[in-house]
Amino acid sequence: MKRTALACGRSLALLLALGICVSLPMQATAQMAAGKSKFVGSAMGGSAPSNFATYWNQVTPENATKWGSVEGTRNVMNWGQAHVAYDYAVARGFKFKAHTLVWGAQYPGWITSLSQAQQRAEIEEWIRLVAQEFPQTWAVDVVNEPIKTPLPFKNALGGDGATGWDWVITSFQLARQYFPNAKLLINEYGTENDQNARNQYLNIINLLRARGLIDGIGVQAHYFNLDSMNASQMTTALNAYATTGLDVYISELDITGGGSDSGQLAKYQDLFPVMWNHNSVKGITLWGYIVGQTWRDGTGIVNSNGSERPAMTWLKGFVSGSGGGGGSSVWLEAERGTVGSTWNDNIADSQAASGQYVTVKPGNNSTASAPTTAAGWVSLPFNVSTAGTYRMWIRRKTPSANDDSFWVRMDNGSFAMWNNIPVASSWAWAQYPTTFNLSAGNHTLTFGYREDGAQLDKVYITSGTDTPSGTGGTPNN
């Protein structure tokens, strides 16, 4: 039997069960993601910042639910700081995620001196006690960093075994047993811009998915990867995870942008819309937000005096103005979609929006009918928050009458020929001649090549009556 070292952090649920009257604070209404279909949360340290609920509606303890923090001394459980985050979340109706059950770092040092049988018993007891202590847990990171941080006591969970990852599978089996109502997530860093690591991660994920053991994918998205990435690379990574059919969560987001306000802002503006508007991404959690209180210098977006850095000011406006991953007006960069092999992707042009565009590779023409495979398409997923009639504009170059057309399809409808787009040798906006009746939710706009000289830069989809100009608005993909 474990004994509890700190009782001052007892859960809200326990207080209510004992009949103790608890005054619950009203849920803040100013969070940027209030009313959205996706959350924006933050990690929380040992205390709750006074402005936390002003911004965020999801909570992950930064360290307090790690095994090494809770049971540094065998059989003595320190739940106090974990309850700071848990009780805060439960009282406000925020999603609470436990982080993390099995990890090759920040585990109690005494575990490595035990026999394998004893280790297995202690691991299972640990998982059971976390579930028991935090019954309203929304999700749990079952295994953290299986690729990047080796687990010294993995043999107690089956080791590599026949699959190469038996210890991960056993961990998820135990978690499913004790957390039957929580989402079971895996979490890893460094896969965003490393295809080899991403393929290893997908292998583990698919082993779990085949056994019905996993509900979502955690992508840590730390500054040491994101600061050197672009939106197209992030789209590629998220599209790879989307192939599993599982929900994706950006689990530990931080960005420095080189350390300056302007650099951090620019990188947020480049990458955050890709993550927020991707159909598979269901929520984003920053890994802390107050300058001086994050795990790495330069990642905070609110100063210690409460003033906001430019990235936070922009982030609030972007999320609150979106439709929970889109809206009644959506801007899409063509090169950030899924671009088929018969198109040239990410062509640099200082006059293009975001500095890049796509065009059909020379010699590829399909004037009689649309291309029948994805190799001939540019697919652009997006989301609108309200049903309605939507118009579409494209920013394009159509340099001659022989280079002035595309095939266009919305969702799973038929391709329609869009020919005789007005000739334009420089970037200009053209309105699609018909409208789309869209339901609220996710959609996919697809362009097929028709004439190989037509160039596509940006797309604007709107239920309004405005006409786009210049390079348009902030992209939502």
For residue 447, the number of C-alpha atoms closer than 13 Å in the C-beta half-sphere is 33
Residue 44 near residue 52 (C-beta atoms within 8 A): yes
Cα distances (angstroms) measured from residue 81 to each of 12, 49, 87: 14, 13, 10
- Paired strand residues for 248: 217, 281
Question: CA 265 to CA 275: how far, in whole Å?
Answer: 15
φ, ψ dihedrals at 343, nearest 5°: -110, 150
Interior angle at CA 346, CA 462 and CA 188, nearest 5: 90
Structure tokens at 12: 């809200």
Residue 184 near residue 142 (C-beta atoms within 8 A): yes
- Catalytic annotation on 145? yes
Catalytic residue among 71, 192, 252, 335: 252
Catalytic residue among 71, 122, 133, 145: 145
Cα distances (angstroms) measured from residue 274 to each of 8, 91, 231, 432: 42, 32, 6, 24
- Catalytic annotation on 71? no
How many other CB atoms sit within 10 Å of the CB of residue 385? 18
Residues acting as catalytic residues: 145, 252
